[in-house]
Structure formats: C-alpha cells, structure tokens
Amino acid sequence: NAGVTQTPKFRILKIGQSMTLQCTQDMNHNYMYWYRQDPGMGLKLIYYSVGAGITDKGEVPNGYNVSRSTTEDFPLRLELAAPSQTSVYFCASSLDSDRYQPQHFGDGTRLSIL
C-alpha cells in the first residue's frame, strides 16, 4: 500500500550545497510530477515526466534538474541551494494525464536552506 514515497521528510541545507530529493511510486504510473508549496500559496509545478527517459519543465524549473531512468523513480536535484528554494516539495504521479485522472501525492519533503 505504498503509493508515492518521498525521502527524506526533512532536510536543512546550507547555501550552495546540493542534494537530491527522492521519489518512487509502485503504481506503474506513466506520469510523475514535482511541485513546490510555499506558505500561503498553491502548488507550483517544477518538472514533470510522461514516461521513462522523458522530462519537461513546468512553471518554476530554474535551479532544479530531474531525470527519469525508470518508471518508478523520479528524483529532483538541487545543484546550488538558495534560500528561495526553502519550501515543501511534493512528488505526485498519475496513470495518465487527462481530465479524469487524479494525481497521487507523496507526503512531502520539507526543505530549509540557511
């Protein structure tokens, strides 16, 4: 009953450090997404993937990179952490991307850049 699993749950980084947020799903979903959630704001799409080997930018991709080597995994990488990247990050997946398919979310990673 795992669904979408994100690790770590919390992390504190120093400015300029790098890290990878992990996301894996066991539902054999084709589509995967990364969002950030800032206080008092809705979720904003960072990157998405329509299948293994295919990724594309969302609304706020600057400062991030992604890869999708398998159907299950969709890691998000921060190369040079900046205070503006302090946020809660959510990974999500869906079987398809049409008007009928909801997205399934992980529990989030709370990231602070100091």
Partner 1 sequence: GDSVTQMEGPVTLSEEAFLTINCTYTATGYPSLFWYVQYPGEGLQLLLKATKADDKGSNKGFEATYRKETTSFHLEKGSVQVSDSAVYFCALWVNNNDMRFGAGTRLTVKP
Residues pairing with 31 in the sheet: 94
Residues in touch with partner 1 (CB under 8 A): 4, 6, 31, 33, 35, 40-45, 48, 50, 56, 58, 90, 92, 97-100, 102-108
Asked whether 39 and 88 are in contact (CB, 8 A), the reply is no
Asked whether 86 and 113 are in contact (CB, 8 A), the reply is yes
What is the nearest approach in angstroms of partner 1 to the Cβ of residue 14?
25
Residue closer to partner 1, measured from CB, 31 or 74: 31
What is the nearest approach in angstroms of partner 1 to the Cβ of residue 71?
17
Asked whether 6 and 106 are in contact (CB, 8 A), the reply is yes
What is the nearest approach in angstroms of partner 1 to the Cβ of residue 16?
29
Asked whether 81 and 18 are in contact (CB, 8 A), the reply is yes
Sequence letter at residue 113: I
What is the nearest approach in angstroms of partner 1 to the Cβ of residue 49?
9
Residue closer to partner 1, measured from CB, 16 or 53: 53
Cα–Cα distance measured from residue 46 to residue 76, given in angstroms and rounded to the nearest whole number: 9
Residue closer to partner 1, measured from CB, 45 or 52: 45
